[in-house]
A and B are shown apart, each in its own frame.
Chain A
Amino acid sequence: MANDLVNIEKLQVSYRKSGSLVPALENVDLYLEQGQTCTVIGPSGCGKSTLLFILAGLFTDAEVEVRGRVLCPEKHRMALILQDYGLLPWKTVWDNAMLGLNIRGMSNEAKKGGLVKILQDLGIWEFKDRFPAQLSGGQRQRVAIARALALEPELLLMDEPLSSLDALTREALQELLLDICRKTKMSLILVTHNIEEAVLLGRQVLVMSPGPGRILNVLENSSAGNIGYRNQQAYFERCLKIRKILERGINDAC
C-alpha cells in the first residue's frame, strides 16, 4: 500500500441545504496508485464534481457532511481544474497562470520559465496580457490547465477540462496530458462526459449513476494511456461496454 495516493472507502457526502441534508454521494470507493490515471463518467448531477471537491478538500463543515474514509495527499501536491475554469476575471492570463505559484511562494525564475514553456505548448502565450473576458471558452480552459500544470502536481484533478475544445486541440491536449503523466509520474483523476475520452485516458474508468451518486462499475482498462489505443478493437469494445452500463444505469434510476 506504499504507493497509494488516494484511498477512499464508503464515502458518503450530503449537502446541507437550509437545515436538511441532501445526499450527493453514497458508498463511493476509490483507490489510486501513484502515476495512475482514473476517469470518472456519469450523467449530469451524479456527483462527479462533488467527488473532486472532496478530494481537493474544498468544502467546509458548514457546506457538507462527510462520512467514510478519505485519504488523499496533502493539498500542496495536487491541483484542481474546475468545471468552469475558475479563472479570476480581474487578473490577466499571466497573473492567473502564476497565481498558484505565487500563493505557494514558488514564483522563482525557473518556475516562471517553466510556465512560459507551458503557455507556449498550450498555444496561449500570445494572450498573456489579456483578461479572461477577452478569451474564448477553449482558451480560458487552457489557461486553467496551464495554471495547474505550473504547480507540477503529483495528482491532477480535472473537471471536464477538455469539453469546449475543438477535436484537434482536444486530441493534442490529451496527448500532452498522457505525456506528462508518463514523464513525471503524475496521477490523474479526470471527470468527463465523453465516453471515448474516458476510455482513452483512464486506466481505471468509474461509471457513476445519479440520485444519489453511486459507482455503478469500475472498469479496468490497462491499455489506456497510448494514443494508438484510439484505433484498436479493444478500445471500441470498451467504449460500447461503458455506453451499455450508462444506459442501463439511467434506466434503473428512472
Chain B
Amino acid sequence: MHVNPSVKSFSNYFIAALFLILLWQLISLCMADLALPGPIHAIHAFITGLDNGISRNLLFSAFRVVISILLSTLLAIPLGLLLGRETHLDRFLGPVIYLIYPIPKIVFLPVVLSLFGLGNWAKIFLISLLIFFQILVTARDAAKSVERLYLYSVKSLGASRKDIYRHVILPACLPEIFTSLRIGLGAAIAVLFITETFASSEGVGFYLMDSWSRMAYNEMYAGVIAMSLLGLVLYIILDWLEKKICPWKFLY
C-alpha cells in the first residue's frame, strides 16, 4: 500500500513520543520520588495548566524566540554573505568576528540586563546575539566556498553584482544556513530559559522555576513539556521552510 510520506513521518514521531513517555513512566516508577512524577500526572498538569498560565507564558517565550530568530537572521545573512564575498570588508571585520564568535553569549546576561532592563528586549537581544554570530559565521564561510564555476556561468550571462548575490550566492548558501539555524535553535532556547528565570514574571522559564520554588512538581514538568513543545514546533517549522525554500536538496 502506498502511504503518504508525511503521514508516515508523523506516525514515526508518534511512535517515538510514545516510546519516550513509556521510558519516563518506567523511570518514575523505579525511583518513586515526588520530584519525578509519572508522565500521566505531568500531561494532566500541562493540559489543566493551559488555561491557568501555561498558554500565556508559552506565548511570551515563543514571541521572544521567534522575534530573535527573525531579527538576527535577517541581519546576519546579508552581512555574512557580503563578508564572504567582499575580501576588503572581511579583512577589516573578520578579526573582530573571530574574537567575538567563541565567547559564550550568556556571559553578557548581567550587562544586557543592566542596559535593557528586565523586559522583553534584554532577552531578545541576548538570543539574537547568539543566533546572529552563528549565522554570520556560517553564511560567511559558505559564501567563501561558492564554486567559481557558478559565478562564471552567471557572469557570462551578463549578471551584475546584485544578480550574482541573488541567483548564486544566496541560494548556494541557504542549505548551510538552515543547518546552522537548526543547531542554533537548541542553544537559543537554552538561553531563553536562563534569561526567563532571572527576575522575570512571564515566560515558560519563569513558570518552570516558579513551580519548582513552590515544589509543585507536576506543574514543573508541565513547564518542561511546554518548553519541549516550543522547541519541537520551531524545529518542524524550520524543516518545513527548508523544504519549501530549498526543494533541490530534497529530490530523492
Binding site for B on A (CB under 8 A): 53, 56, 58, 75-76, 79-80, 82, 84, 86-91, 99-100, 103-104, 131, 133-134, 147, 151
Complex formed: what's the CA distance from A50 to B155 in Å? 15
Q: Give the B interface residue count (CB, 8 A).
A: 21
- Asked if B251 CB lies within 8 Å of chain A CBs, one says yes
Binding site for A on B (CB under 8 A): 149-150, 152-160, 163, 167-168, 171-172, 174, 246-248, 251
A82 touches B153 (CB 8 A): yes
For A56, the chain B residues whose CB sits under 8 A away are 155-156
For B171, the chain A residues whose CB sits under 8 A away are 88, 90-91
CB distance from A25 to the nearest CB of B (A): 17
Q: Chain A interface secondary structure, helix, strand, loop or mixed?
A: loop
Considering residues A53, A79, A87, A89, which has the most beta carbons from chain B within 10 angstroms of its beta carbon? A89
For A53, the chain B residues whose CB sits under 8 A away are 152
For A147, the chain B residues whose CB sits under 8 A away are 157
With A75-B158, A90-B246, A100-B158 known as contacts, the answer to whether A134 contacts B153 (CB < 8 A) is: no
With A53-B152, A88-B167 known as contacts, the answer to whether A99 contacts B157 (CB < 8 A) is: yes
CB distance from A113 to the nearest CB of B (A): 20
For B251, the chain A residues whose CB sits under 8 A away are 131, 133-134
B246 touches A88 (CB 8 A): no
Complex formed: what's the CA distance from A75 to B152 in Å? 13
Show 8 A/B contacts (Cβ-Cβ < 8 Å), sorted by A. Answer: A75-B158, A86-B149, A86-B153, A88-B153, A88-B171, A91-B248, A99-B154, A103-B158
Complex formed: what's the CA distance from A160 to B154 in Å? 18
Complex formed: what's the CA distance from A66 to B219 in Å? 74
CB distance from B85 to the nearest CB of A (A): 12
Contact of A99 among B149, B167, B246 (CB under 8 A): B167
Considering residues A53, A75, A88, which has the most beta carbons from chain B within 10 angstroms of its beta carbon? A88
